[in-house]
């Protein structure tokens, strides 16, 4: 458990109802040796009635007035952790008051998590409706912009209160205001035949982005492409950081999810770039996960036959994998990634702080690629993943920063030697031959990429043993690590005929044989040129539930 010194006059814990503000606030105050105040409890004590009764008698606006008064009272004495009501950030004056004394920590949770936590609580006046689930989604959408004004966002889904406090601890620095400062940056150069670029990994990098990617001159036009989920969290601070060094940035937002990775969406974005006045000297900044990276990269590759691209990945999967290497694509009706181009970015900036807002399922998805790299390249990292599982899954910032930097280093080294997937880069497909077959066979693309990579690693490790390349301990360690991180070692809901038919469409098949990377020992790989397809079919069957 990380111990802390009191870092500010006050620390605000805010967020939507049901995210655990009071519980987390009390624990954080105890760890810091600070007093704890819950503004809702203070309002009820002063009014002599419950919040539902206040709502019923005087309405929401009156309650917001009481809320502001309670906040002012709470902040009058320094040295407090203040848990606020879910709507505290709706008023600009409240935000300004909180910013004057310390950091604002916003706890987040998915709508279904909030519903599960609040369904039995009668003390929720805003949810006294016929459709509470719909009301939760409506309120979350309405408050998304105001919650984005917090300094730090910490996801509470599938985390205990103690784990949430651990995550908050990663963000509190020892400076007078208690703001979390950027740690040391890791800069990984990537030398290519074309002009190379650098991958920068650290914490707090989005705020200092202008120092990493300055404009060539004042007024250079750029487009920041992001999603309606990621944009409210980070777009404003990115735009501000870039404007400070001369970029003139237009923010372009697409719906979150794979459905945006389509030619028609790319066409709309290309038109928006033209309307924003981007010329050959402009740039596209891709802010988000793998979908945004692929889509924005495709747009940058095709606009005026190619303009500069900067990746700002916010998911673990994008930070360790998809943002590196220059592959861009959109989906067609016939399948995923069928229209695309190689277009290397001019910079990749991975702010590990962004991973704090990542849902647990997305964190695990990115771990599939990290486990793949450890299997093939780094026995020490594999051992670290075995021994530090709890720290990784609770989002320990120091451990994640190391993992992101080390995995970027591994992938950059491969891409340098094989920028266009002509040879060595095949090793990055470990776990993917079986994994892609499972992904294509799952109805509606229901399996996440990291999930299928995990199952693919299990299947292909068994294949290596059948070929006599690996012993059983090597197989067992890989399967145990995949399972330890909550990734499937077998998948349900995928029919064998459909999975095998998907396997037959693998573009690496030549004359009934496959060229595949396999792992003879942890931390090493061997590319095998003539794997019999029947053995691969057996591997697929071995992970079907």
SS3 of 214-276: CCCCCCEEEEEEEECCCHHHHHHHHHHHHHCCCEEEEEEEECCCHHHCEHHHHHHHHHHHHHC
Q: Are the C-beta atoms of 132 and 138 separated by less than 8 Å?
A: no
CATH 1.20.1090.10 residue window(s) in the chain: 419-542
What is residue 421's predicted lDDT score, i.e. its pLDDT?
67
Identify the H or E element spanning 300: helix 290-302
Enumerate the CATH 3.40.50.1970 domain ranges in the chain, comma separated: 186-358
Residue 135 Cα distances to 54, 120, 130, angstroms: 20, 16, 9
Q: Identify the band that residue 126 occupies on the pLDDT scale cut at 50, 70 and 90.
A: low
Residue-level length of the chain: 545
Q: Which helix (H) or strand (E) holds 311?
A: strand 308-313
Q: Which of 105-109, 444-448, 483-487 has the highest mean pLDDT?
A: 483-487
pLDDT class of 451 with cuts at 50, 70, 90: confident
CATH of region 186-358:
3.40.50.1970
CA–CA distance, 414 with 517 (Å, rounded to integer): 13
CATH code of the region 419-542: 1.20.1090.10
Range in 332-336, 363-367, 400-404 the model is least confident about: 332-336
The pLDDT tens digits of the residues spanning 344-392 come to: 999 999 999 899 888 888 888 899 999 999 999 999 889 989 988 888 8
Q: Across residues 233-250, what is the average pLDDT?
A: 95
Q: Which pLDDT score, from 0 to 100, does residue 334 have?
A: 76
CA atoms of 321 and 404, how far apart (whole Å):
9
Which DSSP state fits 286? E
Comparing 4 with 413, the larger pLDDT belongs to 413
Domain 10-169 coded CATH 3.40.50.720: no
For 24-61, write each residue's pLDDT tens digit.
999 999 888 889 999 999 999 988 988 888 888 888 88
pTM: 0.67
Measured N-to-C along each axis, helices 397-417 and 379-387 cross at an angle, to the nearest 10 degrees, of: 160
Express each pLDDT in 295-330 by its tens digit. 999 999 999 999 999 999 999 999 999 999 899 999
Distance between CA atoms of residues 2 and 28, nearest Å: 11
The pLDDT value recorded for residue 229 is 92
């981007």: which residue's tokens?
A: 278
Q: What is the mean pLDDT of residues 410-430?
A: 81
Let me know: does 525 contact 460? Beta carbons within 8 Å: no
- Give ranges for CATH 3.40.50.300 in the chain: 10-169
Angle, CA 461 vertex, CA 458 and CA 463 arms, to 5° = 110
Residue 125, pLDDT score: 58
Average pLDDT across the chain, whole number = 86
Confidence class for position 154, pLDDT limits 50, 70, 90: confident
**pLDDT cut 70: percent of the chain above it:** 92
pLDDT of residue 219 exceeding 60? yes
Question: Which DSSP helix (H) or strand (E) runs through 309?
Answer: strand 308-313
Alpha-carbon distances of 521 from 170, 381, 409, 487, rounded to whole Å: 35, 14, 21, 21
What the block records as the tokens of 425 is 């880069």
Cα 14 from Cα 149, distance rounded (Å) = 11
Cα-trace Rg, the chain: 25
- Residue 422: per-residue pLDDT: 65
| 146 or 244, higher pLDDT | 244
Q: What is the DSSP string of 38-83?
A: EHHHHHHHHHTS-HHHHHHHH-HHHHHHHHHHHHHHHHTSSSEEEE
> What positions carry a catalytic annotation?
305, 327, 369, 411, 421, 425, 429, 432, 436, 449
CA torsion sign for 239, 241, 242, 243 is positive
Residue at token pair 């303009």 = 307
In the predicted model, is pLDDT for residue 453 greater than 60? yes
């Amino acid at each position: 458990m990380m111990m802390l010194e009191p870092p500010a006059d006050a620390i605000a814990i805010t967020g939507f109802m049901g995210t655990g503000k009071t519980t987390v606030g009390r624990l954080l105050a105890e760890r810091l040796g600070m007093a704890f105040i819950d503004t809702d409890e203070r309002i009820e004590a002063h009014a002599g009635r419950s919040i539902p009764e206040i709502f019923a008698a005087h309405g929401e606006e009156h309650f917001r007035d009481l809320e502001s008064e309670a906040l002012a009272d709470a902040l009058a004495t320094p040295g407090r952790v203040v848990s606020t009501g879910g709507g505290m950030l709706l008023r600009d004056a409240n935000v300004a008051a909180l910013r004057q004394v310390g950091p604002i920590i916003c706890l987040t949770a998915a709508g279904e998590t909030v519903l599960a936590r609040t369904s039995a609580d009668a003390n929720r006046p805003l949810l006294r409706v016929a459709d509470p689930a719909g009301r939760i989604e409506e309120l979350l959408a309405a408050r998304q912009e105001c919650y984005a004004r917090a300094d730090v966002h910490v996801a509470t889904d599938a985390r205990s209160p103690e784990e949430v406090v651990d995550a908050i601890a990663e963000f509190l620095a020892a400076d007078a205001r208690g703001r979390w400062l950027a740690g040391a940056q890791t800069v990984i150069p990537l030398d290519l035949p074309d002009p190379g670029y650098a991958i920068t990994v650290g914490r707090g990098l989005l705020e200092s982005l202008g120092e990493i990617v300055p404009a060539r001159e004042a007024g250079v036009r750029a487009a920041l492409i992001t999603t309606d989920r990621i944009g409210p969290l980070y777009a404003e601070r990115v735009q501000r950081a870039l404007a400070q060094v001369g970029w003139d940035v237009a923010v372009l937002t697409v719906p979150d999810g794979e459905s945006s990775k389509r030619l028609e969406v790319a066409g709309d974005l290309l038109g928006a770039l033209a309307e924003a006045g981007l010329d050959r000297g402009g740039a596209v900044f891709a802010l988000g996960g793998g979908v945004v990276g692929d889509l924005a990269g495709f747009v940058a590759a095709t606009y005026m036959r190619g303009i500069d691209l900067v990746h700002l990945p916010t998911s673990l999967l994008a930070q360790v994998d998809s943002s590196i290497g220059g592959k861009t694509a959109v989906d067609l009706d016939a399948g995923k990634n069928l229209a695309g181009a190689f277009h290397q970015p001019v910079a990749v900036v991975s702010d590990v702080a962004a991973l704090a807002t990542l849902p647990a399922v997305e964190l695990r998805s990115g771990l599939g690629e990290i486990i793949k790299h450890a299997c093939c390249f780094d026995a020490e990292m594999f051992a670290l993943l075995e021994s530090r599982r709890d720290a990784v899954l609770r989002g320990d910032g120091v451990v994640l920063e190391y993992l992101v930097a080390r995995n970027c280093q591994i992938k950059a080294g491969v891409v340098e030697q094989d920028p266009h997937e002509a040879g060595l880069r095949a090793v990055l497909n470990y776990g993917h031959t079986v994994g892609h077959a499972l992904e294509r066979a799952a109805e509606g693309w229901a399996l996440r990429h990291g999930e299928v990579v995990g199952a693919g690693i299990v299947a292909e490790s068994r294949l290596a043993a059948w070929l006599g390349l690996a012993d059983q301990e090597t197989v067992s360690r890989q399967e145990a690590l995949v399972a330890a991180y909550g990734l499937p070692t077998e998948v349900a809901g995928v029919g064998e005929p459909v999975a095998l038919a998907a396997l037959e469409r693998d573009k690496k098949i030549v004359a009934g044989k496959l060229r595949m990377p396999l792992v003879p020992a942890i931390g090493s790989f061997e590319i095998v040129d003539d794997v019999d397809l029947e053995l691969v079919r057996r591997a697929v069957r071995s992970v079907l539930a």
